[in-house]
Amino acid sequence: MKGLIATLVIVVVLAATVFFAWIGKSDNEVVLRENTISQMEVCSAKFDEMFKSIAQIAQVPTAMMETSKEAFKEIYQPLIEGRYQNKDGEQKDVLMSWVQESNPTFDMSASTELYSKVQTVIEVKRTEFFNEQKKLIAYHQAHTVFCSTFVNKNFFMMGDRLIDRCKGEVDADDEDYVFCVQIIKSANTDNTYRTGQE
């Protein structure tokens, strides 16, 4: 009888230990996941902040803001990538076209001064954005490593909690949307890593 009670006590203690360890692991995974989700929101807010800063400099009328913001999405990634910063002034042409479409009454004779101001804002916001992207990558990595370790993946079943990276265009408003991490990087960088040539 004493042996049965001792065995029962050991089984209960082991079950309680595993149960509380699972709770701790699950809570830790939730914290890592929420850090990643929150950081994605910070990166998204950086887009909005850059748009508002440039729109303010370009004196975009309130009535044009929504249309202007949609048009800005088209040039945002190239601006973040620095893709249009070349000696031919492509970035200036793209920016000034956006300004003219967003604010048809803007005095284009002042475009050189405006471009200089916008370029300064872009450089500052690009640096801020990349710093936030680095945090996002670090949070995503911490979550991935946590869920992928042998014990967590196989014993605590955390492998199905992994967060994928987004592939292609993402629409968070789509009813089939599943959260994924969107990393904005240069098309040049992707091509260099794919081909092995700069």
**pLDDT computed for residue 108 by the predictor:** 65
Give residue 84's pLDDT: 46
Q: With pLDDT > 70 as the criterion, what percentage of the chain qualifies?
A: 80
For residues 16 and 66, which has the higher predicted lDDT (pLDDT)? 16
**pLDDT tens across 69-83, in order?**
777 777 777 666 655
This prediction's pTM: 0.72
pLDDT at position 31 = 95
Residue 186's nearest CA partner among 91, 78, 86, 85 is 78
Tell me what the pLDDT averaged over the chain comes to: 80
Query: Percentage of the chain with pLDDT > 90?
Result: 27
Above 80 in pLDDT, residue 103? no
Q: What is the pLDDT of residues 18-62, one digit of tens each?
A: 899 899 999 999 999 999 999 999 988 887 888 888 888 877 777
pLDDT at 28: 93
Average pLDDT over residues 100-114: 72
| Confidence category of residue 86, pLDDT binned at 50, 70, 90 | very low
